Structure 1
């Protein structure tokens, strides 16, 4: 039973040793390491593409693209999610002339992803769409795969050794109960490690492809009217903004000038200054200045 406890406490040691050996290998042999890594690299790819439609033909295009996926079978292409808005039913966004966005998410065999994306583009062009945006990402999960595989092997070996100890029925009842608990815990950890291993394998084998469909939900005539009204509104708003800016600037200068004029008049009144004769003639004031 002491051996069972030692096995449980030393469970993580094989994984750490494996990682250290791999890292040492990479450092000691820099020339051969890149070739080995390239041959055994585990890359998870994902793709996103957006199409813009001049007219609401998205239903046909989406239908053709989903049919292409389904013809390959679930093992090579799986439709995870798809959305489709009925033409003319877009709520406030459609009434305002905003673009409607539909979506489809697929899982495609990574070996077919490049060719499959080309077929998607061809179907979209045939439906009157143009490519708006394309994005692809690649994540190297090689280290995660190596760690997951090592963890599965270590947990599986530990479970087998614990099971051998339990079947031998050596030791007292307490020791056997402790060994069974250790075996149950190890089995749970082994199941979790296998799930992680399967998830990583799925990410490498199947690439998610997200398709966005953008189109104007209004008819062409209504769309032109909306665009014209929007352009006229923008022009009017810009004109009003310029007018307000001019008025505010003029008022600021008038306020400053008026304040200076009032200040000078007040000073002149306190000191008894008089306007020049030409100014008094113009106003009809011919009284002699003070002190004359």
Structure 2
């Protein structure tokens, strides 16, 4: 059995796994050995059973007939939700802790905390964000009660959005690719088990099996990620502290002035001391210049003016 015959047959197996038995019948590779003919015939029969069932007494036809009015395939929709909550002073941390505890209490199979951050810029002002991934039922129940919980805490829901992404085609296509690669892997393993080729041919089959196995693992990871996005939706929550238009101190300017009296007085004295410390060297330098001018230079100039011309 030549290496060209072996890999031409493997190529036919890959095409048949992706497109059905009709593509295989149109291919005309070099004449394979009797063992290869038997393997390809077995694979063609298997693919015929997978492609479609024939009626009793009717000739075998692997091409499925188009069905009009057939029910549509199952849809795979991934949902992403986001919320914006505005809370009173000191309410961000307790509210976020309540949401985190509710998610963890549901269990990792229902809800998972992906990310949780809180930022405190001032004593009474804080902001934060929470990212979770949970089942659609859990998120629906959470969204149904979040308005009442926020209102009870003295806050409000300021932003709410939901985005849906249809992953039906990606999941179906990825699943079909996975089945095709698994079928090709099985046929290559059968060829390797027969060991009726030369050593070089067997080594090339092993390399092809390793490549196909790597593709299978990669496709399985992609399919798992897509299905996870469908089975568990994402929810992002942003928390902000409600800042009033006017603070308490601004509503009472007189109280603010009395409250800041000693601070302003000490600040003024500190400014005077700072100015004196900065100006003292210049004052000493100016005083020295005046002394030299009055004691040494000015008397000489005055004496010259008194001399008769």
Q: 1:130 aligns with which of 150, 156, 179?
A: 156
User: Which structure 2 residues correspond to residues 30-45 of structure 1 after superposition, within 5 A?
Assistant: 32=69, 35-37=71-73, 40-45=74-79
1:208 alignment counterpart: 234
- After superposition, the C-alpha distances for 1:209-235 in whole angstroms (9 at most, x for unaligned) are 00010114x7x6973557999xxxxxx
Residues 189/222 of structure 1: CA separation in 2 closer, same or farther (3 Å cut): same
What's 1:223 paired with?
A: 247
Provide the C-alpha distance between the structure 2 equivalents of 1:168 and 1:213, rounded to a whole number of angstroms.
65
Partner residue, 2:142: 116
Maintained 8 Å contact 2:185/2:209: yes
Give the superposition deviation at 1:106: 0.4
**Aligned ranges 1:10-25 → 2 under 5 Å:** 11=14, 14-15=17-18
| 2:213 alignment counterpart | 187
CA distance in 1, matches of 2:172, 2:123: 50
Q: What RMSD in Å do the two structures reach over aligned CA positions?
A: 3.2
Contact 2:92 2:127 in 1 (8 A): no
Give the secondary structure class of the aligned counterpart of 2:72.
helix
Alignment of 1:105 onto 2:131: yes
Q: More helix per residue: 1 or 2?
A: 1
Deviation at 1:8, TM superposition (A): 4.2
Q: Is the 8 A contact 1:4 1:165 kept in 2?
A: no
Q: Does 1:163 pair with 2:189?
A: yes
Unaligned residue ranges in structure 1 (runs of 5+): 95-99, 230-292
- Maintained 8 Å contact 2:17/2:184: no
1:17 offset after TM fit, Å?
6.3
Deviations 1:25-69 (A, max 9, x none): 9x963xx35x524xx101001100101123231111111111111
Q: How many aligned positions are there?
A: 210
Distance 2:170 2:235 in 1: 23
Aligned partners of 2:188 and 2:235: how far apart in 1?
44
Residues 154, 61 of structure 1: CA spacing in aligned structure 2 closer, same or farther, 3 A cutoff?
Answer: same
Give 1:114 shift. Answer: 1.1
Q: Deviations over 1:183-204 (max 9, x none)?
A: 0000000001101110111010
TM-score norm. by structure 2 comes to 0.60
Q: Is the aligned partner of 1:85 residue 2:119?
A: yes
Counterpart in 1 of 2:91? 57
CA contact (8 A) 1:163 1:183 kept: yes
Please tell me whether the aligned partners of residues 8 and 182 of structure 1 are also in contact (alpha carbons under 8 angstroms). Answer: no
State the secondary structure of the residue aligned to 2:14.
coil
1:4 Cα deviation from its structure 2 partner: 4.1
SS at match of 1:180: helix
1:248-291 Cα shifts (integer Å, max 9, x gaps): xxxxxxxxxxxxxxxxxxxxxxxxxxxxxxxxxxxxxxxxxxxx
Whether the 8 Å contact between 2:178 and 2:219 is mirrored in structure 1 is: yes
Structure 2 distance, partners of 1:202, 1:208, is: 10
TM-score by length of 1: 0.63
Structure 2 alignment gaps of length 5 or more? 22-50, 52-63, 254-309
CA contact under 8 A between 1:56 and 1:87: conserved in structure 2?
no
Question: In structure 2, do the counterparts of structure 1 residues 196 and 165 end up closer, same or farther at CA, with 3 Å as the change threshold?
Answer: same
Q: 2: distance between equivalents of 1:179 and 1:193?
A: 21
Q: Which entry has the higher C-alpha Rg, 1 or 2?
A: 2
User: How far does residue 101 in structure 1 lie from its aligned partner after superposition?
Assistant: 3.2
